[in-house]
Structure 1
Amino acid sequence: MQSSLEPAPGTPQICIWNQPAPDGWRIVRMSDVFTRITRKIQTHDLPILTISSKIGFMKQEDRYNRFMAGESLLRYTELHRGEFAYNKGNSKTYPYGCVYPLDEYERAAVPHVYYCFRSHIEIDPVFFTQYFAGGGLNGQLARINNAGVRGNGLLNIGADDFFQMEVPLPPLADQRRIASILGSVDETIRAAKTVVDQSRQAKRGLMQLLLSGGLRKSPLKRTAIGYIPEYWTTARLGDTCDLFNGKASGTGGTRLRVFKTKHVYDGPLLMHQPEYVPDDRAGHIPLRAHLQDGDVLTPNMAHGTIGRVAFVEKAESDWTVDGQVTVIRSRDAQRLLPRFLFDYLSSSVGRKQILEREIGSVFGELRGQTHLYPKDLASILIPVPPVDEQVEIANQLQALDCYSAEEERVMQQSRVLKNGLLQDLLTGRVRVPTI
């Protein structure tokens, strides 16, 4: 991983080039601050890197050999630590391309289609890293993009136009103070993310232990889903649950909220970007298709989304799902606790069974056009411990979820704070006083 500057949803577009410069600041062209780099590769032992819009520089080993010989390296530029590269590839994260500094390698080879550059005056590189990551160039990039996105996914932005764009140039002391503040927020985000990642890893280990060995000392028996305690039983999902696809379609209403695959990720049902069934169709959705407490949801279409499992802790009466989401509903919570069901289907063994039932093309021209049908999900085999043990297992795993959720909240609040600071500090709207 190269950077922790992944923008949160809703990252503002910073725009200063068409506004008066704050007192003491100058608005200059990129070429006034940076010089383009077209350095040829001098050695064949450099790491070959590419830019991911979300994480920055990463090794290109999935597509190229580390040691590339002959003419292939003629299509690469040698980049040094602290220098920048602009990837003009279009992506959801950065629709106008992205700029990242090289900070984990002393030297590297990067594709020649990147515009590489370094500063030729004294600057704080973190200030400009934050400015680029915050979308500071987006407005101008949108204007100079001559013909949209090419067939290769690259924006039609020429190098001359790129280096003629305008950027703010505060006094060096201001750059450093702004970089320090934004860097502190980034550190909070990184620390929270580390805790979240560690909690998830701990949960995976605990799930493996509890969902195969149980809480009581007991000999194990071999089953089709692996070893489980002798006193546990197994059951087909279809024998213990109702499984059905959602009935809702369309949007634009006001009464019946519809959850879609974008709301169904591992963990609690996501509440962002609410959508509603058209009011004239809402009355035709059967009550059975309205969500209930304890429902387990999984996408049933598109490779990459199939396999996610979400849990509905507390449902409202006017919630439902669309046809691309399957509802798995325990018929008897005294036999199969919904939370235990969610935990099992979220485990590596449960998820593997879901993915084994994915039908369609993963590769080739029709790649991604895959489906998951309730009748196939019904054949999944699940362990069934005594219900009191299900409760205890679910409680232990939920305790880890709560700990992780608190750090997730800190991370999201910090990202919201940073979004506001980006807009205020990098445009000079709010000045940082000298201490």
Structure 2
Amino acid sequence: MKPSDLVSFIPMGDVSDSGHWMTKRTKPLKSVRQGFTPFANGDVLFAKITPCMENGKGAHVVGLANGVGFGSTEFHVLRPKPEADARFIFHHTQHRALRSAAEAAMTGSAGQKRVPTEFFHKRKVYAPDKEEQSRIADILDTLDTQIQKTEALIAKLAKIKEGLLHDLLTRGIDQNGQLRPGPDQAPDFYKTSAIGLIPKEWHLGTISDYVHPKEGIKPGPFGSSITKSIYRRSGYKIYGQEQVIRADHTFGDYYIDQTKYSELADFSVQPFDLLISLVGTIGKVLIIPETHEKGVINPRLMRLRPNKHVCDPEFLGQLLTSSFFTRKLIALAGGGTMPVINKRIIQDVTLPLIPISEQIQIRSRLLCLLGRLESEEALLAKSRAQKSGLMDDLLTGKVRVTPLLKDVV
């Protein structure tokens, strides 16, 4: 090859945690042939350094420019022998059992631990004949394709949701239950405001206008009020960022007793309260359902209690998680690399005040799309679990693929 010929270039960031080569970039051979790891079409890349290895980074590389590639020095390169199927090897490198064993074999200091080359010489794996390897790889590839398609659909639906939410929060729904035409189509429907054009029926305000006049905004108690020393195995739940970030009120097992709960009664939660994270991962929101464990918020949360006369809680939750709101929140937050918000910052964000009847219509529109999104996310979780189970069976020889395929036929 000439020094000016293009070859594929794959830094660590160009492979995904699910083992896919994402960004296809090229560089002249002369710029990468020193200081990078070389590989060829059909090779399998395996991240050697923590935490990339534990996260599953790697790829089976095909379609390399001029059949050649260079990449991160933190890749191990596995080249299949003639009697081995490359995809079968790739799936072995993605198997959680191999990754766990590789983690245990790492050497080096914390933060710089790596999987040594000797690991692959010593690691024993199930290796049937090439035909059966190929059939195993085909089955797992089929599931991989389904998973990738579902992931792509979820990403598309998420973008559609964000676009729809933006339209609903800037244009709203008219008396006929239809999305209002935009200002360029119907300028008479809108008026100028501090946040841009808004429907004439709307006003401007803040979170305070949506929540209970007395109990509406409640930051968590001081840190000294809730410490590990008061944790119990049962009792009244402590709601923290873990529940909010996961959007799961059932997660976690930190509790306090009756006495402490009574002391912290001002910080208790009730149905339809909204909990918002204040530190680090800010702007995440959790709505407390009717069926929930009694408990209190910890110091990293703020409780918002909607005023049911002027606010639909589900609508307010969507408003607070919209990019419209979170962008403003992040801009006002302090703390540098660890952004922090407080009651004043929450109250400083200007919001459109939308009639409750219109809020309910907006929420209904969004719920249809959210239902589709949740359905696809459930399908994705099911497919990943199915693939994991099949890998445990097929890559260890617990289930032989030949009779399995005969049953399908």
Q: TM-score, normalised by structure 2?
A: 0.81
Distance 2:99 2:7 in 1: 31
Deviation of 1:392 after TM superposition, in Å, equals 0.4
How much does 1:79 deviate? 2.5
CA deviations 1:202-245 (Å, max 9, x no partner) are 21121121111121256211222221101111212134332223
Counterpart Cα distance in 2 of 1:312 and 1:105: 51
C-alpha distance in 1, partners of 2:102/2:381? 28
> 1:413 and 2:382 equivalent?
yes
d(CA) in 2 for partners of 1:428 and 1:236?
A: 61
Indicate the residue corresponding to 1:276 in structure 2: 254
Q: Structure 1's 86 and 94: CA in aligned 2 closer, same or farther, altered over 3 A?
A: closer
Backbone CA RMSD of aligned residues: 3.0
State whether structure 2 residue 51 is matched by structure 1 residue 51. Answer: no
Mark the CA change 1:297 to 1:283 in structure 2 (over 3 Å): closer, same or farther: closer
Q: In structure 2, how many angstroms separate the alpha carbons of the residues matched to 1:335 and 1:397?
A: 19
Q: Distance in 2 between matches of 1:194 and 1:70?
A: 36
In the alignment, which residue of structure 1 is the partner of 2:313?
A: 338
Q: Give the secondary-structure state (helix, strand or coil) at the position aligned to 1:275.
A: coil
In structure 1, distance between residues paired with 2:206 and 2:302: 17
State the Cα deviation string for residues 19-52 of structure 1 (Å, max 9, x = none).
xxxxxxxxxxxxxxxxxxxxx9955633432224
1:269 counterpart letter in structure 2 = A
Q: Contact (CA 8 Å) 2:44, 2:89: kept in 1 or not? A: no
**RCO higher in 1 or 2 (8 Å CA, sep ≥ 6)?**
1
Query: Does the residue aligned with 1:283 lie in a helix, a strand or coil?
Result: helix
Q: Residues 128-187 of structure 1, C-alpha deviation per residue, up to 9 Å, x if partnerless?
A: 2222112232354244323343xxx43244324443332221222322232233223323
Q: 1:76 maps to which residue?
A: 36
Number of positions where the alignment pairs a residue of Structure 1 with one of Structure 2:
377
- Tell me the SS of whatever aligns to 1:371: coil
1-structure distance, mates of 2:82, 2:392: 25
Contact persistence 1:100–1:129 (CA under 8 A): yes
The DSSP-based 3-state class of the residue aligned with 1:222 is strand
Aligned-partner Cα distance in 1 for 2:119–2:159: 46
More helix by share: 2
- Indicate the SS of the match to 1:167: coil
Selected match of 1:308 from 276, 279, 284? 284
Provide the residue aligned with 1:100 in structure 2: 59
Residue identity in the other structure for 1:222: T
Compared CA separation, residues 292 and 60, structure 1 to 2 (3 A): farther
**1:424 paired to 2:393:** yes
* TM-score computed with the length of structure 1 as normaliser: 0.77
Confirm or deny that 1:229 pairs with 2:203: no
Aligned residues of 2:274 and 2:304 also touching (Cα < 8 A): yes
Q: Which amino acid aligns with 1:408?
A: E
Q: Secondary structure at the match of 1:395?
A: helix
Counterpart of 2:130, as a letter, is: L
Structure 2: how far apart are the matches of 1:319 and 1:186? 42
AA matched with 1:227? L
Q: For residues 342 and 179 of structure 1, do their structure 2 counterparts lie closer, same or farther at Cα, with a shift above 3 Å needed? A: same
Distance 1:308 1:263 in 2: 10
Query: Can you list the C-alpha shifts for 1:97-128, whole angstroms capped at 9, x where unaligned?
Result: 74422246444320234221211223232222
Task: Provide structure 1 residue ranges, at least 5 long, that are not aligned to the other structure.
Answer: 1-39, 363-368
2:184 corresponds in structure 1 to none
Quote the offset at 1:315 in angstroms.
4.7
User: CA 1:141–1:269 in structure 2 vs 1: closer, same or farther (change >3 Å)?
Assistant: closer
Percent identity (aligned): 21
Q: What is the alpha-carbon distance in structure 1 between the residues aligned to residue 263 and residue 98 of structure 2?
A: 46
Aligned to 2:192, the other structure's residue is in SS state strand
Equivalent pair of 1:263/1:271 in contact (CA under 8 Å) = yes
Q: 1:113 to 1:351 in 2, by over 3 A?
A: closer
Matched, 1:115 2:76: yes
More strand by share: 1
